[in-house]
Amino acid sequence: MLSLSCADPWPEGSMGLEEKVVTTAGQTRERDRVVDTNNNNNNIFCSSINLDDSLTSLQWLQEFPIVGASVSQRANQQLHLFSQPQGSDTPASPLVEDPTSMQLTPRTPTAVASSRVQSLPGIMAPCHCLDEVDYKTNAHIRPPYSYATLICMAMQASKKTKITLSCIYQWITDNFCYYRYADPNWQNTIRHNLSLNKCFIKVPRRKDEPGRGSFWKVNPQYAECLLSSAYKKRRMAPVQSDLALQDKLRVNLQPQPKSQRLLREFKEATAAEQNCYPHQGTMPGSLPVVREGGGNKRHAPSVATINGDSKVLRRSNSPLFPVDEQKEIGPLKEDFDWDALLDSALSGKLNLEGGEPFSCIMKEEDLTVRGTLITPGEASVGTADTPVLVENQASNDVPDFDEEAFLATTFLENLRPEEEEQGHSDFLCSSTVNVDQLFDLGESLGGDPNFWIDSLL
């Protein structure tokens, strides 16, 4: 179960002021992360943004292991999204299907980071599946998420419109034990990502607000692009490329919940009808993969000695979290489900129009984008009354699937209920989608329903 803490550990009082944050003139640096404020198009495909830019797209979302997370629930046709009741006993850590799941013997970070790859063909240990790793308690396995993903997860889990850097740190360390003991250099990478990644927007702290540093939020324009980007081609590790092999491995080597098997069989059956999935190999439904060594040196952050001469992040009394920040943050108890983000869109919780899940922020406050002040009016890229779908796709350097995504989005918008103004992150909290809806989506697109379902799964 892909679940992250999503309780409201961020007391309202702590963020109350932030809702009215006004950009101060104290920005000493102007960043070039510019939202096209003149573009009043509610362009769901972000025509003003080159999504293919490095660190621009939400392609990292595709890296999120969506399938393993809730496929069994889907098989039940009732997909309960972000709906773990507060205080439930469900694991608060991501990808926790069974909190008592594996605890690998200590290894070097590099070795464990690629444990999945190593455990594949022939040597795949049924239990050693990252889907079942409790990252909250397992300090030896690096979570297979990019830093951008981690940041966004923290933002989503906070259920707040914006969070501080220290909150991000804390959420990560609270939910990923690995980073609790890792060399704190990863924090540098977090900061680097926040600064560089266009998906994140800095919201300056008001001068009368105590604390240090700015707040950060997800760029709503990229939230808009969630769906379309979710269909984007993803990079595939070699072990992923062979879908047949992958399926075989998953079917034969991994113990699957019954519901999961049923869904798989169902998909296989429907796939046989449709012959093939033209995009399947690139869909986010693939297994999450820990790429061997990650992106660069492909080694995990060095793990500090647990005995602790090194700087080690501790949960509550870390110097990373000043008193005022710690008051903002409580233990994260709710679950967090990324595929629910997509599902929320399907069920209409994810507003694809001018609002968007994060747009409530934009309506209420000024913010800076790469140092550029964005007023609420400017920030709004459209209105609910006048949704502007892509007029200028040609200028959008987006692949051909945009047309499909366009249709999908149009369909999804038709599903959208009233809650768009309910605001904040509540859109993530409760929603259900059944498989029929997914099929309706596929059919409404006039294409292969399996493609869409596979895409969304």
Q: How far apart are CA 161 and CA 156, in angstroms?
A: 8
Of residues 53 and 403, the one with the C-beta less far from DNA: 53
Nearer to DNA, 110 or 434 (CB): 110
Contact yes or no for 11/339 (Cβ under 8 A): no
H or E stretch covering 455: helix 449-456
In the bound state with DNA, the residue whose beta carbon lies nearer, of 84 and 214, is 214
Q: Is the dihedral of CA 128, 134, 135, 137 positive or negative?
A: negative
Q: Answer whether 89's CB lies under 8 Å from 1's CB.
A: no
Q: How far is the CB of 6 from DNA (least distance, A)?
A: 22
Q: Which is nearer to DNA, 108 or 241 (CB)?
A: 241
The DSSP H or E segment spanning 249 is: helix 243-253
Residue 52 beta carbon to DNA: minimum distance, rounded to whole angstroms: 5
Q: Compare residues 187 and 351 and give the one whose CB is closer to DNA.
A: 187
Minimum CB distance to DNA smaller for 185 or for 392: 185
User: What angle in degrees, to the nearest 10, is found between the helix axes of 67-75 and 258-274?
Assistant: 90
- DSSP secondary structure string for all residues of 34-53: ---TT-----TT-TTS-TTS
Provide the minimum distance between the beta carbon of 266 and DNA in the complex, in angstroms, as a whole number. Answer: 26
In the sheet that 215-218 helps form, which strands lie side by side, from edge to edge? Answer: 163-164, 215-218, 200-203
| Nearest approach, Cβ of residue 24 and DNA (Å) | 9
Give least dist CB 276 to DNA, A.
16
CA atoms within 13 A on the CB side of 159: 26
Beta carbons within 10 angstroms of residue 257's beta carbon: 13
Beta carbon of residue 281, minimum distance to DNA (angstroms, whole number): 8
Report, in Å, the least distance between residue 28 CB and DNA.
Answer: 4
Residues 6+ apart with CB under 8 A from 446: 407
Please report how close the Cβ of residue 224 comes to DNA at its closest, in angstroms.
17
Helix then strand then coil, in percent of the chain rounded to 5, is: 40, 5, 55
Contacts of 130 (CB under 8 A, 6+ apart): 65, 95, 115, 116, 141, 144, 288, 290
CB of 371 to DNA, least distance (A): 6
CA torsion sign for 110, 331, 359, 412 is positive
The residue among 104 and 243 lying less far from DNA, judged by its C-beta, is 243
CB nearer to DNA: pick between 292 and 364: 292
DSSP strands (E only) in 139-214: 163-164, 200-203
| Binding-site ranges for DNA (CB under 7 A) | 26, 28-32, 52-57, 59-60, 63, 145-148, 164-166, 169, 183, 185-189, 191-196, 202, 205, 207, 212-214, 216, 233, 235-238, 240-241, 291-302, 319-320, 322, 325, 371
CB closer to DNA out of 209 and 403: 209
Nearer to DNA (CB atom), residue 334 or residue 366: 366
Query: Could you give the CA distance from residue 367 to residue 354 in angstroms, rounded to a whole number?
Result: 17
DSSP state of 105: P
Shortest gap between Cβ of 322 and DNA (angstroms)? Answer: 7
User: Which two three-digit tokens encode residue 198?
Assistant: 């266009």
